[in-house]
Structure 1
Amino acid sequence: MSADAATPQHWRIHCDGTAWPNPGRIGIGVVLQAPDGSIEQISQAAGSGCNNEAEARALIAALQAARARGAQQLCVYSDNSVLVEHVSGRAKTRIERLQRLFAEAQSLLASFAGVELSWIPRHRNSAADTLARAALGLPAKPAGRPLSRRRGK
């Protein structure tokens, strides 16, 4: 399924985490959209650690929120390729604290009837990023256009 191929029964999740400084305090942001279009947002501090721990904790919080609301089909979007690669099983880490978080996320993902976990460019995940930063009292990043590979675009 492509990143934009959600069917009417799919819940959409955009998640992001930030660590300030890195490593440092962790903030997570989640935008959870139900099939009926209603949206719930999560913005909370989540301890301390590195940016990849923050991303994993954001995904875990998003999956727990979806599970609590009875979701069965998910389209999950993250702008962190490390998270997507590791949770999808295409990469492995030797860092024990990340292994535990990635395993918890994998276990949660397996509890749903169907899940599509996709990497998206950072500019398409700005709402979740803003929520993660707000959890730490940080301002939103300035809006900008995605970088083009060609000059003058």
Structure 2
Amino acid sequence: MNEDFLWQAWCDGCARPNPGHIGLGAILLGPQGGRHELSERSPHTGCNNEAEARALLATLRLARALGAAHLQVQCDSDVVVRLAQDAEATEAARLAPLFAEIRQLAAEFSRLELRWLPQHRNTAADQLARAALGLPPRAPAKPARRRR
């Protein structure tokens, strides 16, 4: 990918309760360093997987509106990363139309790379998704205690 034109994004979604109201969060960094944030409450209700998928869809829409052609998106949902790239997947059949919409929008980019990352490395997008529902930031995970 030509790094000169690469946009980077981190997205996250949350559902409270689960299933329940959906919050969407995303951060986009433009090739010249411009930062754009998304924090909004979805009009839909659903489970965490739907929230994550809707956050990815909102991120792709925002990126297109900002003129991004080459985009790398980080998402902490392995389910969303897999299903967004696999039109033949049958898990989460209820969400198939949503994933079809994601794949259709993804095809509008010259290049799109979707990557999974651990939840603890996606805290800024998580905070934006939670803020959209009026929730405080998630407490930092406590380090695991080592057994002797």
Q: Is TM-score (shorter-chain normalized) higher than 0.5? A: yes
Counterpart CA distance in 2 for 1:133 and 1:112 is 28
Q: C-alpha deviations, 1:69-100, integer Å up to 9, x for none? A: 11100000000000001111187235444101
Number of equivalences: 146
RMSD: 2.1
The farther-off stretch of 80-89 and 91-100 is 91-100
The farther-off stretch of 123-132 and 87-96 is 87-96
Among 20, 23, 27, the alignment partner of 2:19 is: 23
- The answer (yes or no) to whether the contact 2:8–2:72 under 8 Å persists in 1 is yes
Q: So what's the TM-score if we normalise by structure 2?
A: 0.90
SS in 2 for 1:8: helix
Aligned partner letter, 1:21: P
Among 128, 133, 136, the alignment partner of 2:130 is: 133
Q: C-alpha deviations, 1:34-57, integer Å up to 9, x for none? A: 111111111011021111111111
Give the match for residue 6 of structure 2.
Answer: 10
Give the match for residue 55 of structure 1.
Answer: 52
Moved over 4 A (4+): none
Matched, 1:151 2:143: no
Matched, 1:68 2:62: no
Q: So what's the TM-score if we normalise by structure 1?
A: 0.88
> Between the two proteins, what is the percent identity of the paired residues?
49
Aligned partner letter, 1:65: L
Aligned partner letter, 2:128: L
Matched, 1:88 2:85: yes
Structure 2 unaligned residues grouped into runs of 5+ = none
Structure 1 unaligned residues grouped into runs of 5+ = none
Counterpart CA distance in 2 for 1:116 and 1:55 is 17
